């Protein structure tokens, strides 16, 4: 294969096709652009991000595992069991950037070559540097710098993942001819790594602000930025340089590598030797935790000790007449990690952690009633292992009970149609709200239950085999309910402690709602 000859051009064209048309990267790009689109300034951004993560069980597990590592764990040491709590504790931007990093790693799944691991490791590390620099930013809304830093070496990641031989040839030319990686890639591919990065990000509909932040910087010492766009460009370059140098830095801020970076970026980013040393110390542990969690492991990495946190599976429950449906909690949990229904064996611990998170949110004054309801819903969904969960509230204009928040399988379709009238028919939902009775239906397929199910439930949720109804009654008036179901029966039932915790979670929502009612 000659330098930029027909074979090389064919390899480049295959890469460009894979980026824009292939079966894997466009799907990755859709997920990445969806996360990037979520802006922390929007009222619904936290719930939107949490819902996105919860739709991917593997991504949820990784995020919770990361939140429970020593680098992120709070002083109180209470396990983080919900994505909502992870966002509340770590911050929206930390969770968003970490989620993007994990999506990038998962998008390269199956390509475990050393070059791919090296490039992904650099990307993760650069994102942590970018996030740290965003905290010191002189500009508003600087958090995008962490996203830009994450994708700074995307072109190299793509070449390493899709054409390892070509990646090796570019590195060899750069070393033998004394060229930069950008110059070497341009000479061999006919387009630079930076060009390939821009092609990928534009095909993923990335915001222009992020694409522009990845443009090459002028040579030599940089001056302080005159705009946010210029500052982001500097931070992306600095973060990528620091990520590459971190493994061989012997005395951050003082060794030769550090001094070279400071000479180029120090004045522009208001950074001196002491500041760089402090930055490296803060970033190194966090970057290692992120790399370990993404399963990019190197010999020098210490073994993390994450707290195991189960995540909602696809599960379902089982039933008997109204008094029999009351959550008496007469079953003990077996020793397995999950019951056959999908309910976690440690449901009590997960529910307790969720209830404590809600108490913290209320005490701190953070979040509104929708945030609290979402945290309650997530705790119910993950803690009990349901496949679908929603909170429905009564629409004062139409009188219909409509789904306001939902999690799980087929959420958009179900939430769009999840609305019914309080008709007065003696069905389970009407009886639950009229009697303020928390119901557990362990087996919805029995004749006894079928006769009490409303038509809308049988039509919309024919696959539901077990479910719970937790009515929301404020000052004597039914205003809505929590509903969650599984597609299998749940003969294990609910223990008395779990029942108490579910009622505690519900009562915290009711108390906040009651405070809003004159």
Dist CA 446 CA 327 (whole Å): 18
Q: Is the pLDDT of residue 374 over 80?
A: yes
Q: What's the pLDDT at 310?
A: 38
Dist CA 215 CA 224 (whole Å): 17
Dist CA 515 CA 479 (whole Å): 14
Q: Is the pLDDT of residue 42 over 80?
A: no
Average pLDDT value for residue range 106-114: 68
Q: What's the pLDDT at 319?
A: 35
Residues 6+ apart with CB under 8 A from 124: 101, 105, 150, 287, 290, 291, 294, 296
Q: Under a CB-based contact definition with an 8 Å cutoff, are residues 107 and 154 in contact?
A: no
Q: Which of 38-47, 323-332, 472-481 has the highest mean pLDDT?
A: 472-481
Q: Is the pLDDT of residue 397 over 50?
A: yes
Confidence of residue 439 (pLDDT cuts 50, 70, 90): very high
What is the value of pTM for the model shown? 0.73
Nearest alpha-carbon partner for 223 in 274, 164, 265: 265
Confidence of residue 486 (pLDDT cuts 50, 70, 90): very high
Average pLDDT value for residue range 204-217: 91
Number of continuous H segments (helices) and E segments (strands) in the chain: 24, 6
Q: Under a CB-based contact definition with an 8 Å cutoff, are residues 223 and 193 in contact?
A: no
- Domains of the chain with CATH codes: 12-293 (1.10.3210.10), 322-516 (3.30.450.40)
Least confident of 63-72, 189-198, 227-236: 63-72
Higher pLDDT, 355 or 66: 355
Confidence of residue 147 (pLDDT cuts 50, 70, 90): very high
For residue range 214-260, list pLDDT tens digits in order: 999 998 999 999 999 999 999 999 999 999 998 888 888 889 999 99
Confidence of residue 509 (pLDDT cuts 50, 70, 90): very high
Q: Is the pLDDT of residue 294 over 70?
A: yes
Q: Is the pLDDT of residue 368 over 60?
A: yes
Q: Which of 103-117, 144-158, 302-316, 400-414 has the highest mean pLDDT?
A: 144-158
Q: Is the pLDDT of residue 404 over 70?
A: yes
Nearest alpha-carbon partner for 321 in 453, 423, 422: 453
Q: What's the pLDDT at 303?
A: 34
User: How is residue 7 written in tokens?
Assistant: 């074979």
Q: Is the pLDDT of residue 336 over 70?
A: no
Residues 6+ apart with CB under 8 A from 25: 18, 19, 107, 158, 200, 203
Confidence of residue 470 (pLDDT cuts 50, 70, 90): very high
Per cent of the chain over pLDDT 90 is 31
Dist CA 108 CA 167 (whole Å): 15
Q: What's the pLDDT at 302?
A: 36
Higher pLDDT, 421 or 176: 176
Return the DSSP state at 139: S
Average pLDDT value for residue range 482-511: 93
Higher pLDDT, 426 or 242: 242
CA–chain centroid gap for 467, Å, is 27
Q: What's the pLDDT at 77?
A: 60
The label of the residue with tokens 């951050």 reads 252
Q: What is the mean pLDDT of the chain?
A: 82
Dist CA 518 CA 511 (whole Å): 13
Instruction: List the beta bridge partners of residue 473.
Output: 478
State the pairing for strand pair 439-441/466-474. antiparallel
Confidence of residue 111 (pLDDT cuts 50, 70, 90): low
Average pLDDT value for residue range 262-279: 94
């Amino acid at each position: 294969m000659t330098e930029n000859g027909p074979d090389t051009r064919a390899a480049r064209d295959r890469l460009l096709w894979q980026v824009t048309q292939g079966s894997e990267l466009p799907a990755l790009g859709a997920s990445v652009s969806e996360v990037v689109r979520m802006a922390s300034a929007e009222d619904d951004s936290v719930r939107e991000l949490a819902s996105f993560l919860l739709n991917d069980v593997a991504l949820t597990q990784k995020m919770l595992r990361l939140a429970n590592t020593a680098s992120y764990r709070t002083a109180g040491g209470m396990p983080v069991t919900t994505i909502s709590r992870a966002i509340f504790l770590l911050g929206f931007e930390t969770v968003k950037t970490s989620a993007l990093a994990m999506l990038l790693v998962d998008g390269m799944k199956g390509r475990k070559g050393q070059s791919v691991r090296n490039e992904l490791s650099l990307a993760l590390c650069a994102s942590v540097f970018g996030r740290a620099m965003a905290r010191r930013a002189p500009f508003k809304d600087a958090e995008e710098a962490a996203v830009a830093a994450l994708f700074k070496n995307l072109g190299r990641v793509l070449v390493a993942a899709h054409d390892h031989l070509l990646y090796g040839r570019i590195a060899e030319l750069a070393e033998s001819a004394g060229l930069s990686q950008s110059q070497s890639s341009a000479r061999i591919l006919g387009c630079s790594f930076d060009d390939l990065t821009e092609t990928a990000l534009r095909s993923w509909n990335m915001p222009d602000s992020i694409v522009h932040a990845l443009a090459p910087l002028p040579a030599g010492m940089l001056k302080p930025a005159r705009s946010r766009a210029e500052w982001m460009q500097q931070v992306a370059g600095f973060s990528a340089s620091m990520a590459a140098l971190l493994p061989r830095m012997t005395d951050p801020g003082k060794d030769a590598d550090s001094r070279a970076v400071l000479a180029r970026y120090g004045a522009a980013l208001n950074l001196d030797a002491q500041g760089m040393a402090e930055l490296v110390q803060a970033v190194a542990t966090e970057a290692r935790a992120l790399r370990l969690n993404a399963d990019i492991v190197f010999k020098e990495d210490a073994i993390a000790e994450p707290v195991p946190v189960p995540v909602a599976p696809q599960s379902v429950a089982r039933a008997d007449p109204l008094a029999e449906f009351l959550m008496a909690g007469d079953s003990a949990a077996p020793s397995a990690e999950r019951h056959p229904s999908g309910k976690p064996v440690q449901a009590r611990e997960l529910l307790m952690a969720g209830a404590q998170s809600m108490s913290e949110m209320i005490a701190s004054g953070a979040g509104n009633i929708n945030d609290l309801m979402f945290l309650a819903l997530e705790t119910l969904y993950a803690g009990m292992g349901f496949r679908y969960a929603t909170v429905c509230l009564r629409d004062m204009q139409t009188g219909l009970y409509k789904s306001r928040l939902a999690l799980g399988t087929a959420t958009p379709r179900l939430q769009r149609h999840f609305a019914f009238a309080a008709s007065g028919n003696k069905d389970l939902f009407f009886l639950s709200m009229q009697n303020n009775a928390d119901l557990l239906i362990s087996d919805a397929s029995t004749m006894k239950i079928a006769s009490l199910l409303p038509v809308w439930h049988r039509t919309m949720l024919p696959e539901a085999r077990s479910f719970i109804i937790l009515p929301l009654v404020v000052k004597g008036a039914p205003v809505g309910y929590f509903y969650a179901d599984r597609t299998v029966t749940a003969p294990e039932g609910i223990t008395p402690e779990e029942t108490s915790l579910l009622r505690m979670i519900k009562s915290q929502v009711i108390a906040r709602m009651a405070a809003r009612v004159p």
